[in-house]
A and B are shown apart, each in its own frame.
Chain A
Amino acid sequence: MSPATLRPNSVAEVQEAVRTERHLLPCGGGSKPALLTPGEGQTVLDMTGLGQVLEYDPGEYVLVTQAGARLSEVEALLAQHGQYLPFDPPLGQQGATLGGTVAAGLSGPMRQRYGGVRDFILGVQFVDGVGQLVRGGGKVVKNAAGFDLPKLMVGSLGRLGILTELAFKVFPLPKATATLRVAFPGLEAALEALYKLAGSPIELYALDLEPPATLTLRLGGLAEALPARLERLQAFLGRDGERLEGEAETAYWRSLNDLNLGEGALVKVTLTARHIPALEAALGPAPRRYLSAGHLLYLAWDGELDALERLLGAQGLSGLVLRGSTHRPQIGIDLSQAMAHKVTQALDPQGRFARQPYAAQD
């Protein structure tokens, strides 16, 4: 039986749904289906009815939207003014919304330059588990008043409240970009270069490692400085690599944001470069890409998710399943941590947003 779905068109309707439905699962564009497997008796709340851009003054570099706003539309609007979301959220072409992006806590390769979604969220409005509308943060680029609820919501997966409105800091798009793909003789050499780059004053928009041993590096900035910087980068690495420029370069990075890595479940893993050698030894043929100097891994996993959980657990790592069939998308995450448990209960005392088995404090 397909689950009941509600599609609110206003914040008041979201509040109403929270007050009347026993169990709710908020849903954005559906681009991360593993996070959307409804449990028994769970009503799906389709948030795409709240899809407006509420405030955008390009001179202010601040954007306020409803949570159901589509990433692709927002990014197109920003691009018209030469601006972008520097955390480079994935899955825009798959219909991802800003609310879903924040709830899943997803950033892309360009997070390397200025930071991830947590570093750009300024304000949040959400409906808590008792139907109250709550605001945190603000709409200015700097603000230290009150608890940082906007950051708290990053990665909250709808568990702490239904996001209705979000404010972000945005940045000017680099006027020009160029990419260098450099193959190394082996993983060890590639990692050595990765560390050397990450510790150098060379400012990269992306610093990706593609197994087995290729670094893909993106430079951005003023067009007149780019040729000199590319040469310096090549000299720094002692390798020429393969250059990507122009339309092909933009298309390359755009297509990466689809996260079409290969067959199987799509999993986000958080780590540091230190974990890469052991993972590389253990992950076998699973298609994968390490982003942001080894701090973020996107992985396609065709086997049992339990096996992946054991494998990650052995490294002390956790992950989030984004695509694939599972009732338990959070793997290797300690959900019983005392702060988590208590704050969750504070915002959702009746377990309205809990996953099965329903508990006030999962």
Chain B
Amino acid sequence: MSPVLAELERLFPPGRLLHKPGELAPYESDALTAFRARPLAVVLPESHEEVVQAVRWCVRHQIPYVARGSGTSLSGGSLPIEGGLLIGLNRMNKLLRLDPRERIAVVQPGFINLQVSQAAAPYGLYYAPDPSSQPVSTIGGNLAFNSGGAHCLKYGMTSNHVLAAKVVLPDGETVVLGSESLENTGPDWLGLFVGSEGLLGIATEVTLRLLPKPETYHTVLAAYDSLAKAGEAVAAVVASGLLPGAMEIMDSLAIEAAEAAVKAGYPLEARALLIVELEGETPQVEAEARHLEAVIRKSGAYEVRVARSSEERMKIWKGRKAAFSAVGRLSPDYIVQDGVVPRSRLGQALAEIEQLSARYGLRVANVFHAGDGNLHPLILYNGRVPGELERAEALAGEILKLCVALGGSITGEHGVGMEKKAYMSEMFAEADLEAMRRIRRALDPLELSNRGKMFPGEAPALRFQGVHPLEQAGVISRE
């Protein structure tokens, strides 16, 4: 063993320092399996102090490192660095404090998203951001990507629900950002940290805000004979002044797949389905429901269903939540994109994606967060057909450029990571990226922390690898 590794061995006991090829294999990629890299070693710290030690070791030996939660990043964000250190945070998975009166939860970074809401449930509270990877993804990973979900329309993404974080900066120093207060004096350092994709440090303790559970939900499923009509219905709901908790669209390919997978009872012949969910105080929701009904009726829906019980509600959502993995069954492989367009351009964006799909000869299914213009085109391909993966990536790139051209963004919630870094310059000018780089280098002059991600630069070659093991096992599905 090299002296450098031997030094690491003095810091981490066997079992929490992995460096044999067999031990490293499970860490070689994240949920974007087309990228793969072998780290020098993996360490599994159990405390803040051990994270500091690991980072200091990296600084001492100028070894780049990547923090990792559950490795469900869809953009290659938690892809290891060839020859670098992987700092796995899954063992730091404790709920440190739950204070129902102050409505906060303090967790270690490896704590699982869904478990926050489960722990808060006895007090009538929940943690709002609900990425569909929530049964497995960690709060640390959620923070790094500012993750969102179907229910982020009204109360925002991860960043709007994180109050404070203890962070190990890339030089090994520790800072505490934010406080228990929702308000702040001085620049919002925590705001800068959240969404920084693991480049600005490692969170070792996170204070989350909990919300009271809404009293009532009102869930509507509307069927349309065209995708454009469903898109216009979203614009009409938004324009009516209603503020739903969620607004989601599925196209015919997604409907067909979801139906085959979970029998949600969706109208099979529909070209598009719109799910709108109101939430809040019962008298308010009941009144809003009447307004919503009028808007939906005018929008040209040919069939409208309202969930009459929480079972019916869950059934509607089950189809939606299963749609991604279900679409996966239509095709051996797929890539998920995550671009955002202004809501008034949804119809145009969908039409152009359809044309691109025809031009590239690859099917694209759409299941997405319509309420905030966050598209999730699923590009279906067969990795075993030579050239298809490359064609799928090229189509994905065209979709990203389209989103930027329409005034939107290359990513709404999955992050730039390794996958989209080449498209950062579509969205930002060189001076913008340079300012971000200066911030990064001020904190990390050697660019050790998650080196090679987010900023444009060389990307490793894509290789066909098949779907994520967790996904294959049906533990998670993409949203």
CB of A41 closer than 8 Å to a CB of B = no
Contact B373 A140 (CB under 8 A): yes
| CB contact under 8 A between A201 and B213, given known A115-B160, A143-B409 | yes
Contact B148 A142 (CB under 8 A): yes
CB interface residues, B 324-370, toward A, < 8 Å: 338, 340-344, 369
CB 8 Å contact bits of A101-114 with B (1 = contact, 0 = none): 00001010001001
Interface of B is mostly: loop
Contact B432 A146 (CB under 8 A): yes
Contact B414 A144 (CB under 8 A): yes
CB interface residues, A 70-94, toward B, < 8 Å: 82
- A-B contacts counted at CB < 8 A amount to 273
CB 8 Å contact bits of A138-167 with B (1 = contact, 0 = none): 111111111111111111110110000000
Q: Residue on B with the closest CB to A198?
A: B103
Contacts of A139 in B (CB 8 A): 342, 407
CA distance in complex: A339, B215 (Å): 41
Cβ distance A39 to chain B, nearest Cβ, rounded Å: 19
CB 8 Å contact bits of B92-126 with A (1 = contact, 0 = none): 00000000111100000000000000000001110
By size class, the interface of chain A is: 35 or more
Cβ distance A340 to chain B, nearest Cβ, rounded Å: 6
CA distance in complex: A346, B414 (Å): 27
CA distance in complex: A347, B442 (Å): 9
Q: Residue on A with the closest CB to B146?
A: A144
Contact B187 A141 (CB under 8 A): no
Contacts of B431 in A (CB 8 A): 132-134
By size class, the interface of chain B is: 35 or more
Determine which of B154, B241, B340 lies in contact with A142 in the assembled complex, contact meaning CB atoms within 8 Å: B340
Chain A binder among B57-65, B286-294, B471-479: B286-294
Contacts of A146 in B (CB 8 A): 416, 424, 427-428, 432-433, 436, 454
CB of A203 closer than 8 Å to a CB of B = yes
Cβ distance B444 to chain A, nearest Cβ, rounded Å: 9
Contact B415 A320 (CB under 8 A): no
Interface residues of B (CB under 8 A from A): 100-103, 123-125, 145-146, 148, 152, 154-157, 159-160, 167, 169, 173, 175, 177, 179-189, 191-196, 200-201, 212-215, 235, 238-239, 241-243, 280-281, 283-284, 286-288, 291, 338, 340-344, 369, 372-374, 407-416, 420, 424, 427-429, 431-436, 438-443, 454
Q: 27 pairs across A/B with beta carbons < 8 Å?
A: A57-B344, A59-B238, A59-B239, A118-B184, A136-B436, A138-B427, A140-B409, A142-B340, A142-B412, A146-B433, A147-B192, A147-B439, A151-B192, A154-B191, A155-B185, A171-B243, A201-B212, A221-B281, A221-B288, A222-B287, A232-B283, A273-B102, A333-B186, A339-B193, A339-B200, A339-B201, A343-B187
